[in-house]
Amino acid sequence: MALAGKNILLGVSGGIAAYKAAELIRLLVARQARVQVMMTPNAAQFITPLTLQTLSGRPVASQTFDLGQESQIGHIRLADTADVIVIAPASADLIAKAAVGIADDLVTTVLLAAHGPVAFAPAMNVHMYAHPTVRENLARLAARGVTVIEPAVGPLACGYEGQGRLCEPASIVEQVEHLLTPHDLAGQRLLISAGPTQEAIDPVRFVSNRSSGKMGYALARAAWMRGAEVRLISGPTALPVPGSVTRISTVSAEEMLRATSDNFAWCTILVMAAAVADFRPAVVAAQKIKKRSVRWRMELEPIADQLPGLAARKGSRRIIGFAAETEALLDNARAKLQHKKLDLIVANDVTAEGAGFAVDTNIVSLIDPSGRVESHPKLSKDEVANLILDRVAAMKPEAAARRAGAVRVLSRR
C-alpha cells in the first residue's frame, strides 16, 4: 500500500464539510497511514476533537501556545514529521491566510514551517469559490507547488447548488497516494484502452463480451499515480475515472479503434487492455426485431485488427497488448505478440479461478519479444497493473518523450 507507514498531517478548518474529515481519517487509517489531526478554533465548532482523536488514535493538536502540546508535539515537529500535509476542508479564510503567509493559529503556523508536499481541498459556497480573490489565492498557492484538489459540483449545505462541495474523501485519499508515489513515469504519455465494446443488432440489442474494464482502469490509475499523463479510451462501464486521467468514451469497436488511431500520435506508450470485439452483425436492423416463433439467424462479419497498422508506424513508441485465452495460453499469446509486433504481451487464462472478467484479481504471464515468460500468481488488478508498468518503466521510451516535449514547447511559441 502506498500509504502504509506514512505520516499524514490532516488540517481541518471551519466549515460544515468538517464532518467529512471523520470519513477521510477512517480511509487513511484503513490504508495503514499514521494520521495526526490539527484543527483551527473554528473547526471545533463543527466537529469535536474527541471524534477525530478517536478515529486517528492520536491527540488532536489545536493550540499554538498550549504548553502541553508544544512540549509534546510542537508546530515545527508537526511539519518536520509529516510526509504530506492535507488541509480538508480548506475554508476561504484559511486559503487567504496561507496565500499571504499569515500565521495566527496552529494550522497556518504549521503551513509556514512545511517543507514537503501540501494539498488543499477547498469547500465553501459556490459564489465564494468563484470569487476572484479566492481564485487568485488558490492560484498563488498552486504556483508555490501546493496541490489544489478541486471541489465537486452538487447541492451545498447553504441551499445553493454548484461547485463548492468538498471532494469526496476517497478521491482525496487517491490524490494523497498520488503525491506520495514515486513518479518514475513522469514525462510519459500513456494511451490505454479498457472495457468492452457493444456492436448493435438493432436499436435495443447489442453483441458484447464479459469485460468489466477493471484491468484497464487499474492500469490508468497506476500510470497516473506514477506521474504519467493518461488518456483512457473506455468502452461502456460505470467505473470511476481515476485522478486527472482523461476519459474518451466509446461504444463500438469502430469508435474505439478510431479513437485509438486519432490519439496514437500523442502517446509514448499504448496499452491495449480493452476487449475489442472480433465480430459484429453484418446488418443492423433499423427497428427493433420482434420475437418470432421460428429460429432467427444473425450473420456476423469480422472487424479488422488495427494493431499491426499502428505497430508499423510506432517509431520509438512502445505497444503493450493483452491476450485473454481459454486454451494454449502461451502459444496463442506468443503468436499474437509476433503478429502484432508488440513490445510486451500480457496473457491470462480467463477460465482460471480469479483470472476471468468482472473480478478484482488476475493471474498473468508477461511475454516479451525475446520469448522470456514471467508468470505470476493470483494478484489484485492494482498489483498486476504495477507489474506491467514496472516493465514499461524499464523500457524507457525516452526519445519519444523528448521529441513530444519539444513539440509541446514549440506549440506554445
23-44 pLDDT, tens digit per residue, is 999 999 999 999 999 999 999 9
pLDDT value for 307: 81
**Which pLDDT belongs to residue 279?**
94
> Is pLDDT of 406 > 50?
no
Confidence label for 413 from pLDDT (cuts 50, 70 and 90):
very low
For residue 252, pLDDT over 80 is answered with yes
pLDDT at 157 over 80: yes
Of residues 178, 151, 142, 176, the one with CA closest to residue 8: 176
Please tell me which residue, 263 or 159, carries the higher pLDDT value: 263
Q: Does the pLDDT at position 60 exceed 70?
A: yes
Amino acid in the structure at residue 242: P
Mean pLDDT for the chain overall: 91
- pLDDT value of residue 410: 34
Q: Is 288 helix (H, G, I), strand (E, B) or coil?
A: coil
C-alpha cell at 406: 519539444
Mean pLDDT along residues 251-275: 96
Model confidence at 405: pLDDT above 60 = no
Is the pTM here over 0.85, yes or no? Answer: yes
Q: How confident is the model at residue 376 (pLDDT cuts 50, 70, 90)?
A: very high
The answer on pLDDT for 411 being more than 50 is: no
**132 pLDDT more than 90:** yes
Active site residue 167: no
The CB density around residue 261, as the number of other CB atoms within 10 Å, is 13
Query: Which of the following is catalytic: 158, 186, 204, 304?
Result: 158
Tell whether the torsion through CA atoms of 231, 236, 241 and 242 is positive or negative. Answer: negative
What pLDDT sits at residue 399? Answer: 40
Mean pLDDT, residues 319-348 taken together: 94
Letter for the amino acid at 235? G
User: Does residue 124 sit in helix, strand or coil?
Assistant: coil
Phi, psi of 304 (to 5 degrees): -60, 135
Integer Cα distance of 123 and 403 in angstroms: 40
| pLDDT tops 70 at residue 74 | no
Which residue, 207, 264, 200, is CA-closest to 233? Answer: 264
Asked if 292 and 338 count as a contact pair (C-beta separation under 8 A), the reply is no
**CB 235 within 8 Å of CB 213:** yes
Q: What is the C-alpha to C-alpha distance for residues 216 and 204, in angstroms, rounded to an integer? A: 27
Higher pLDDT, 297 or 219: 219
Whether residue 400 has pLDDT greater than 90: no
pLDDT for 311 equals: 86
Which residue in 192, 280, 282, 277 sits closest to 228, CA to CA?
A: 192
Quote the CA–CA distance of 3 and 177 in Å, as a whole number: 6
Predicted local confidence at residue 66, as pLDDT: 62
Q: What is the pLDDT of residues 168-201, one digit of tens each?
A: 999 999 999 999 999 999 999 999 999 999 999 9
| Residue 71 predicted with pLDDT over 70 | no
The better pLDDT of the pair 2, 262 is held by 262
The amino acid at residue 71 is S
d(CA 106, CA 95): 14
Peptide bond into 122 cis (omega under 30): no
State the pLDDT at residue 309: 85
Q: What is the mean pLDDT of residues 322-340?
A: 93
Q: Is the pLDDT of residue 373 over 70?
A: yes
**Backbone dihedral angles phi then psi of residue 107, each to the nearest 5 degrees:** -65, -50
Alpha-carbon span 182 to 353, nearest angstrom:
33
List, in order of start, the domains of the chain with CATH numbers.
7-180 (3.40.50.1950), 189-411 (3.40.50.10300)
Q: What is the mean pLDDT of residues 120-132?
A: 96
| Coil vs helix vs strand at 375 | strand
- How far is it, in rounded angstroms, from Cα 296 to Cα 275? 27
Q: Which amino acid is residue 220, in one-letter code? A: A
Residue 134 confidence class, pLDDT cut points 50, 70, 90: very high
Is pLDDT of 73 > 90? no
pLDDT attached to residue 131: 97
User: Is residue 38 a contact partner of residue 107, using CB atoms and an 8 Å limit?
Assistant: yes
Q: In what order do the strands lie in the sheet with 373-375?
A: 246-249, 229-234, 189-194, 269-272, 318-325, 344-349, 365-367, 373-375
